[in-house]
Amino acid sequence: MVWKFDEIYMTDINSVKAAGVSCGLKEDNKLDLALIVLDKPVFAEAMFTKNTVKAAPIIVSKRHLEKYGMIQAIVINSGQANACTGEKGIKDAEMMAERVAQNLGIDKELVFVASTGKIGAYLEMEKIVSGIDMACKVLSKNSGREVAEAIMTTDTFPKMSSVKYGDVIISGIAKGAGMIHPDMATMLVFIGTNAKLEKDAMKKVLRRGVDKSFHQISVDGCTSTNDTVLFFATSEKEIKENIFQKGFDMLTEDLAKMIAKDGEGATKLIEVRIEKAESLKKARVLGRAVITSNLVKAAFAGGDDNWGRMLASIGQTGYNIDIKKIELYIGEYLVFAKSEPLRYNSQEVKNYLKNREVMVRIVLNEGRYNAVSWGSDLTEEYVKINAYYRT
């Protein structure tokens, strides 16, 4: 038996209900408030941004999670980040938790709060309170997609993924298209499972999965004030930790690639494989250096086979690079080896770079460790989106 992707939602976990509603934070009645509710408190683990400017919901949710190590509800609003909003922002985040708790008859510290959107604007609490009341009334098992849509900001599509191993389910939703860079957890991600896992095992599974997926993507090199990955387990189905990890890694990689592919203004998903490195850390750092280079990203946007920029990007990491050992491939085309450029058909490579998904392999030939990173190209549309985001 193996893990397989399945077209199911988080609400297919027995004890989970959800709702996605519009409370007026976005234009055109777009969904902007999501609520996920469990029948009882369950163990949860989270990772938050390392950005020292942290949004109010992160401060509040971290405090709540530290009290019990459990959650029973998750409330998320989009459109307004509730970041850089002082004491009022903290009180507003607490009020969101309190309103959910009052509606459900649970302890407010069991409510996890998240927000995403514009930084520096106070929450429109009258609308949010009304949205929470509405969401609590329409909770159902049929709102899996609506929840994913409700947490979107500049995303162009809802990001959902689920995997199954027998009757064990892991299901997740994510949002993220801008301010994406590997530094703890660079987006909003919510993952649930019906598996039975010990608290310590959950922490290890989460860290391993994030290190291989969300820590290996970048859109623009910017981390957000609100970045969060939350993972909860309803403890219904027995499974070994090592087997569960494989499914968790499949899911998180799938969501991470969706985020990179949906980078603001992006036309390409770029996959960078660093192979045969002397350490896993080095492989990961070098891969991230390539996908975060604006020069590399701009070359991909223009379909330019400028592989020299890729070599320069790994050379600036501080790691020792033996250029005599390196082989560099764009797709299947070997373009550089043994310190020298190789003769290849440049036009064929340019044609390859027109694809929606492209791959680069940099083989260091110094060890046994491999790592994969994902990013997007840098286009004029990215500048347009972010030049007028607040206006």
Dihedral, CA atoms, 25, 28, 29, 30, nearest 10 degrees?
Answer: -80
Helix (H) or strand (E) segment spanning residue 46: strand 33-48
How is the beta sheet containing 340-341 ordered, strand by strand? 217-218, 369-376, 269-277, 357-363, 327-330, 333-337, 340-341
Helix (H, G, I), strand (E, B) or coil at 231: strand
Binning the chain into helix, strand and coil, the percentages to the nearest 5 are 35, 30, 35
Would you please indicate which residues are annotated as catalytic (active-site) residues?
186
- For residue 234, what are its two tokens? 């309803």
Residue 25 and residue 78 in contact, taking contact as beta carbons nearer than 8 Å: yes
**Which residue, 47, 46, 20, is CA-closest to 34?**
20
Handedness of CA 305, 310, 312, 313 (dihedral sign): positive
**Which residue, 136, 126, 383, 122, is CA-closest to 266?**
383
DSSP characters over 111-167: EEEEEEEETT----HHHHHHHHHHHHHS-BSS-HHHHHHHT-SS-SS-EEEEEEETT
